[in-house]
Structure formats: structure tokens, C-alpha cells
Amino acid sequence: MKERHWIVCVKAVVLDAAAGPARRTAANSILNPFDAPALALAFDLRRILGGTVTTVSMGPPAAGPVLRETLALGADRAVLLCDPAMAGADTVATAAVLAAAVGQLSPVDLILFGTRSADSDTGQVGAQTATALRLPLVADVQTLVWHDGRCRVTRDCDGFLETYDLDFPAALTVRPEAAATGDLALGRLEAAFAGQGPHVWDLNRLGLSPGAAGQAGSPTVVRQLTPVGQRKTCRFIEGDDAAKADELVRRLVDGGLIG
Amino acid sequence: MKIELTDKHIVLRRTVRSFADREIRPIAAAIDQEARFPWEVVEKMARLGYFGIQTPRELDGAGMDSLSYALIVEELSRASAGIGLCIAVHNSVALYPLLTFGSEAQKRRWVPPLARGERIGAFCLTEPNAGSDAAGIEATAVADGDGYRVNANKVFVTNGAVADVCLLFVRTGTTGGKEDISVVVAERETPGFAVGDLEDLCGMRANPVSSIRLCDCRVPAFNLLGRPGMGLQIGLAALDTGRVGIAAQALGIAQAALDESLRYARQRRQFGQPLARHQAIQMMIADMATRVDAARLMVYRAAALKDDGRPFGTQAAMAKLFASETATAVTDLAVQIHGGYGYSKAYPVERYYRDARVTRIYEGTSEVHRMVIARGVLG
């Protein structure tokens, strides 16, 4: 039986909101917190079914430490997709580059993504990459079990729990509750930074033309980012504790903040 | 020289800060008030390698450098100085002498369980009549068959109530001079080893600082560290390393006090505007930030020198002196900025104020450090 291969696409996200297009550095970039559960789920799959975990990220050299962090957390291999011509990519161009990388890393059983990134927050890249690879995708996966030789996943959709059985290869976007993330051990962090870092692949290595990537390959362009101020107001709720709680819940429901 | 954090150090700092914010900060006030050693967090830290930061990987440590050690102690102390102290002392003055002066057999026996955090280490030098005057210790280890019979009364032992492996400074000779002083390793299970009451301290209350007494305690000759009479040499080498840790701890406390002061000064309004808009407060904030920044540069420089294999003793003493005096000055200003609330347990700055004070006393007082620095400068 061939060895399983789990690929996790991750992003180095900026910690603070930028006034314009974000410039990532090692100091201001972290592993997208929404990708950590996808990575943890890949480790769970490796523990149950064996195989190797590869992490892939498109980004500038400053994304390298984040990929080393994935190695410290337990990834077997990391690949940084890095080329000046990849800069300014929208989600379509990002998916094109990730799909090209997955093609080169194949065979693969499952490609895992977080549900969205903490900085640009589109939630599109997982679906677009699966589409580019013509692979089935289940989005917002909450649980995954191995059942009768197939992968069974569930997702909550509008109050219904959907259950899917999947054949590999396939792609998933993973919700935070799908897998428990672990703390980084100091020895593993040291080893990850002392050992071989991520492989670095440019467009040439991926077999892509500059027109397919970065700003040139992006149908959309971010023209401007403008902070939107939030006006805070304070309303007092009167009554005894039970009445105050009921009124608070009613206002939150009426405001569409809880369902 | 370049004092710059590498990518590894940046990721490490973020990793430790995130752990400390999630696991330690929420309980920091409670463990201080209850004077409780939080085993539930300590056990997690043990699994993650915090008890073997600079211990080589082949002895089950993380194999990190001194700058990493300083960053870890700084970040832990920013959340709880008592926890930072536990890690600083265990890794420096307890483990470092074993790694540096221990035989291969001694290292194999004691280091891996300490590095895995399965056992906790302590450094037992201070006695009721010997503190800064380390050569004045009265504890004895008298040759007895194939070992020593040890009698000692050690006080203010950091990690004392939970320590399993203690580096004990004793007299093995009878000349009365400093050449009599040696280090023996005493283990908690040894008959005659007793932990005294917890010291009821002003600060660092999450650390179980206690006295330790050994009464006719039989210790095998194997447990002698280095050669007889090497005690002060071992102690001074350990304290050189330990100073970086205590300096980093003081830095962490000072940074925490600055963080809280910035938050409070932006939020608290007096005379119709936030405190941060009042020039008197701005002067205090500027002084605090400047001192913290300078302390950080000195601490990182001392650690970087050690990592480069260059002499670092004087710079470590300077860093410890400056960072500890910074911590007491900055926490004092933090209380002042908070006003009456700063003197209350409702805000953490009163804890920082209490915790900071001892950094000018332990592992060498400020006055002893000035002597060390003067010796280094005057030659």
C-alpha cells in the first residue's frame, strides 16, 4: 500500500492591521491561527493512517520562519513558494500557485486548509485551489473519522449536520473544533531552526509563467484599505438578574448577534 | 557587535509569550495570594522542555543558547515572576554546575531527569549567618567511610520545598578558609534531608522558597561535584550564569509594569482627559520605557557574549545590577501612575512592586554586584 501524503496549505499572516498592502517580516508574521487546526488534523491522520505531512505556503522570505514553526510542530517537510512575481496575488492567483505546487508534490491523499486567514479573511483559497486541481472539497469540516476504509467528515450547515464520505484525493477546509492544537516544545523549535529549513520553490520550479501568478495573474486588485471606526454606545438594562439576562439575550437575538 | 534577535529567537519569544499569556497570566494573582506552586502548569512546562533549556539534546534538554534562555525567563516573568524564578534557578545555578563540573557519570545520573522536569533542582548556599559572605558558611561534610556525613542549615532556598536535587555548599576541610568549601549533591530521598517551612516572603510568593536542613545525612563520595575545595569556584561560575537569568527576570517584571502603566494611562481619565495626556505621567512613562529598553540591551548583550564564548562576567553583573534596579524603579513608578489602585490587589502592579524588590538582593545584592563590576573594570 502506498504511503499516505497529507498536505497542509498555511499562511504567514501579519499581526497588526496595515494601513495599505501588508509588508510581512519575521517579527510581524505568525502562523495563521485558522491553519493550526488543519495542521493538527493532518497530524491526527498521520498518527492513525501513517504517511507524511507536508506544509506549503506562498509568501515572501519572511514566511520562512512560520514554515519552520510547522516543522517544529511536527511537519515532515515544508515548501515555501517564493518569487517576486508572486507578490500582490489575489485569491485566484494564490490558488493557481498552490495548485501547481500540490501538482508537483503529488501523489497526495488530502489537502487541508484553514477556513480563512486572520488578515485578509476571504475564505476563498481552499475552495479555489480544490477547483483548480479538480478535486472534491468539503468546507468547514467539524469532525473527521476513518470509517470502513473511507474518510467521513461532518459539517454544520444552517442548523443541519451534513455527513460526507470521501474518497482520496480530496480537499478540506477545517474548522477550529476539528482538532486540538498543541504547544510548541522548545527542543523541537531549536531542532527545526538548526536543521534544514523549508524548500524554496520559485515560479520556474513550479513551471508557471509570471502572467499566471502575483498581481499579473490576479483578476482583482486591492485599491485601498480604510479603517472603519466603530461607534461604541452603552445601554443600561434594568431589573433583577433574571430579567436583565432575558433582556440581554433578546437584544442580542434581535441584533442578529446570536441565533 | 550586533545585538539582534534571529528568526528563531523571534518565534521563540512569541511561543513563550503565548504560552505564558494563556497558562500563567490568568492564575498569576491567585498563586501569589495563595503562595501556591502551580504544579498543573509546571508539569506542562516540563513536557515542553522549560526545565532543560540549555541542556544538550543528548541529555534530554532543548539545547538552546543563552539568549534563548534569557528570552524565556523574561517572558515567563512578565506573567509571573515566581514561575520565572523557578525556571531561571533550575536551569542556571542548579543545572549549569552539574553540566560544567560534573563527571560523565554524574551528568548521566542527574541531568536527564532534571532536564525533563521530572526532578527539580535547587542551589543551597545561603545560611542564617552567611549570605553575601559566601566563604562564611558553616555547613559541613565530614569524610565518613566511602562518603560524607553532612550537616547543614540552608535558608532562602528557591524551589526549596519542591527540590529533589540540591547543590549544597559545605565545608569539607578544617582550615576555616575558603579552600575548605566544596559542593555536594544532596537528594531529597536521603535520610536526614528535611525541608523546613516555607519562607513567608514579601514577593515571589508562587515560588516555594524554604529552608532545607540536613542532619547527619550520609552522602556517597560520588556526590562530590568537582574536587574538594572547588566550592567557591563552582559557586562563582554558577552565579555568573545565574545573573543573566535574574537580570532577565527583572526585565520581565519591569516590562510587565510598563505594559500595565501604558494600558492604565490610556484608559484612566482625570481632569477631563486620559492620564497619558498629562505631562507628569508622560515624564514617568518616558523614564520607564528608556530604562526598560536599556536593561533589555544589557541583558541580551550579556547573553550574546556568553553564546559567543567571550568573557561575560562583568557584563552579566552590570545587566543584573541595572535590570534589578530598573525593575524596582519602574514598578515604583507603575504604582505611582495607578495611584490608590496601584496600592491595591485589584491591579497587578502592586504584585510587580513586591516581586521586583528581591531582584536587588538574591543571587548577589546590588552592592556585591558593584564590587564585582569594580573588580572587572579596575582589573
pLDDT at residue A78 in the model: 98
Annotated catalytic residue within B74, B127, B260, B363 = B363
Distance from CA of B61 to the nearest CA of A (A): 7
- Cβ–Cβ under 8 Å, residues B90 and B31: no
pLDDT at residue A20 in the model: 58
DSSP percent split of chain A into helix, strand, coil, nearest 5: 35, 25, 40
Does A86 fall in a domain?
yes
Does A232 fall in a domain?
no
Closest chain B residue to A64, measured at CA: B7
Could you tell me the residue ranges of all domains in chain B?
Answer: 7-120, 122-229, 232-378
User: How far from each other are the two terminal CA atoms of chain B, in whole angstroms?
Assistant: 23
Query: Cβ separation of B49 and A186 shorter than 8 Å?
Result: yes
- Cβ–Cβ under 8 Å, residues B49 and A187: yes
Is beta strand B210-220 parallel, antiparallel or unpaired with respect to B147-157?
antiparallel
Q: Which three cell numbers stand for residue A208?
A: 508557471
Query: Cβ separation of A193 and B10 shorter than 8 Å?
Result: no
* Numbered residues of chain A with Cβ closer than 8 Å to any chain B Cβ: 26-27, 30, 64-65, 68-69, 72, 183-187, 189-191, 193-194
Asked if B269 reaches chain A (Cβ–Cβ under 8 Å), the answer is no
Query: CA distances (Å), B38 to each of A62, A167, B15, B49, in order?
Result: 37, 47, 20, 17
Give the 3-state secondary structure of residue B354. Answer: helix
Residue entry with cell 494600558: B263
Does A25 fall in a domain?
yes
Residue entry with cell 541542556: B55
User: What does the pLDDT look like over B317-370, one tens digit per residue?
Assistant: 999 999 999 999 999 999 999 999 999 999 999 999 999 999 999 999 999 999
Asked if B209 reaches chain A (Cβ–Cβ under 8 Å), the answer is no
User: Is the peptide bond preceding residue B220 cis, with omega within 30 degrees of 0?
Assistant: no
Q: Is the pLDDT of residue A98 over 70?
A: yes
pLDDT at residue B282 in the model: 98
Closest chain B residue to A188, measured at CA: B62
When pLDDT is cut at 50, 70 and 90, the band that residue A236 belongs to is confident
Query: Cβ separation of B61 and A69 shorter than 8 Å?
Result: no
Q: Is the pLDDT of residue A1 over 70?
A: no
User: How far from each other are the two terminal CA atoms of chain A, in whole angstroms?
Assistant: 47
User: What does the pLDDT look like over B223-252, one tens digit per residue?
Assistant: 999 999 999 999 999 988 889 999 999 999
Asked if B250 reaches chain A (Cβ–Cβ under 8 Å), the answer is no
Q: Which H/E stretch holds residue A30?
A: strand A29-31
Ranges A64-68, A181-185, B6-10, B176-180: which has the least confidence: B176-180
pLDDT at residue B103 in the model: 97
Q: Which three cell numbers stand for residue B364?
A: 548577589
Q: Is the pLDDT of residue B91 over 70?
A: yes
pLDDT at residue A155 in the model: 94
When pLDDT is cut at 50, 70 and 90, the band that residue A249 belongs to is very high
Asked if B47 reaches chain A (Cβ–Cβ under 8 Å), the answer is yes
Chain B contact set for A26 (CB, 8 A) = 7, 10-11
Number of domains in chain A: 1
Q: Which residue range(s) make up the domain with A167?
A: 5-217
Q: How far apart are CA B12 and CA B68, in angstroms?
A: 7
Does A104 fall in a domain?
yes
User: What does the pLDDT look like over A129-164, one tens digit per residue?
Assistant: 999 999 999 999 999 998 888 899 999 988 899 999
Asked if B40 reaches chain A (Cβ–Cβ under 8 Å), the answer is no
Burial class (CB in 10 A: 0-12, 13-18, 19+), A134: exposed
Is beta strand B165-171 parallel, antiparallel or unpaired with respect to B181-187?
antiparallel
Over chain B, what is the mean pLDDT?
96
Chain B contact set for A65 (CB, 8 A) = 7-8, 10-11
Does A183 fall in a domain?
yes
Closest chain A residue to B13, measured at CA: A27
Residue entry with cell 564564548: B309
Distance from CA of A184 to the nearest CA of B (A): 7
Q: Which three cell numbers stand for residue A178?
A: 476539528
pLDDT at residue A21 in the model: 58
Buried/exposed code over B109-140 (b: 16+ C-beta within 10 A; e: otherwise): bbbbbbbbbebbbbbbbbbeebbeebbebebb
Query: CA distances (Å), A80 to each of A62, A83, A93, B8, B246, in order?
Result: 10, 10, 16, 17, 39
pLDDT at residue B1 in the model: 67
Does A238 fall in a domain?
no
- B2 phi and psi angles, rounded to 5 deg: -100, 120
Query: Cβ separation of A183 and B50 shorter than 8 Å?
Result: no
Q: Which three cell numbers stand for residue A20?
A: 495599505
Distance from CA of B60 to the nearest CA of A (A): 9
Helices (H) and strands (E) in chain A, counts: 7, 12
User: What does the pLDDT look like over B95-112, one tens digit per residue?
Assistant: 999 999 999 999 999 999
pLDDT at residue B162 in the model: 96
Does A225 fall in a domain?
no
Query: Cβ separation of A185 and B49 shorter than 8 Å?
Result: yes
Asked if B374 reaches chain A (Cβ–Cβ under 8 Å), the answer is no
Choose from B4, B6, B7 for mutation: most chain A CBs within 10 A.
B7
Judge: domain B7-120, CATH 1.10.540.10: yes
For the entire predicted model, the pTM comes to 0.91
What are the strands of the beta sheet with A150-157, ordered from one edge?
A143-147, A150-157, A160-166
- Cβ–Cβ under 8 Å, residues B290 and B218: no
- Cβ–Cβ under 8 Å, residues A112 and A42: yes
Q: How far apart are CA B112 and CA B101, in angstroms?
A: 16
A with B: how many residue pairs have Cβ under 8 Å apart?
A: 59
Sign of CA dihedral B242, B248, B254, B260: negative
User: What does the pLDDT look like over B254-263, one tens digit per residue?
Assistant: 999 999 999 9
Q: What ipTM score was computed for the predicted complex, to two decimals?
A: 0.92
User: What does the pLDDT look like over A37-48, one tens digit per residue?
Assistant: 999 999 999 999
Asked if B72 reaches chain A (Cβ–Cβ under 8 Å), the answer is yes
Mean pLDDT calculated for residue range B56-72: 97
Distance from CA of A139 to the nearest CA of B (A): 29
Closest chain A residue to B45, measured at CA: A185
Q: Which three cell numbers stand for residue A72?
A: 517544529
Chain A contact set for B20 (CB, 8 A) = none
Q: What is the CATH T-level fold of the domain B122-229, as seen in this structure? A: Butyryl-CoA Dehydrogenase, subunit A; domain 2 (2.40.110)
Query: Cβ separation of B62 and A185 shorter than 8 Å?
Result: yes
DSSP secondary structure string, B140-178?
A: EEEEETTEEEEEEEEEEETTGGG-SEEEEEEE-SSS-SG
Ranges A19-28, B63-72, B284-293: which has the least confidence: A19-28
Q: How far apart are CA B257 and CA B202, in angstroms?
A: 17
User: What does the pLDDT look like over B135-151, one tens digit per residue?
Assistant: 899 999 999 999 999 99
Q: Is the pLDDT of residue A19 over 70?
A: no
Does A246 fall in a domain?
no
- Which has the closest alpha carbon to A78: A172, A256, A199? A199
DSSP strands (E only) in chain B: 121-124, 140-144, 147-157, 165-171, 181-187, 193-198, 210-220, 224-225, 269-270, 273-274
Tell me, what CATH number does A183's domain have?
A: 3.40.50.620
Chain B contact set for A189 (CB, 8 A) = 8, 11-12, 15, 62
- Cβ–Cβ under 8 Å, residues A184 and A178: no
Nearest to B49 among A64, A69, A187 (CB): A187
Nearest to A186 among B5, B10, B53 (CB): B53
Q: How far apart are CA A153 and CA A165, in angstroms?
A: 7
Chain B contact set for A184 (CB, 8 A) = 15, 48
Closest chain A residue to B49, measured at CA: A186
Q: Which amino acid is at B80?
A: S
Choose from B4, B5, B8, B22 for mutation: most chain A CBs within 10 A.
B8
Question: Which CATH class name applies to B232-378?
Answer: mainly alpha
| B363 counts as catalytic | yes
Query: Cβ separation of B62 and A193 shorter than 8 Å?
Result: no
Chain B contact set for A72 (CB, 8 A) = 11
Asked if B14 reaches chain A (Cβ–Cβ under 8 Å), the answer is yes
Q: How far apart are CA B103 and CA B87, in angstroms?
A: 24
Asked if B87 reaches chain A (Cβ–Cβ under 8 Å), the answer is no
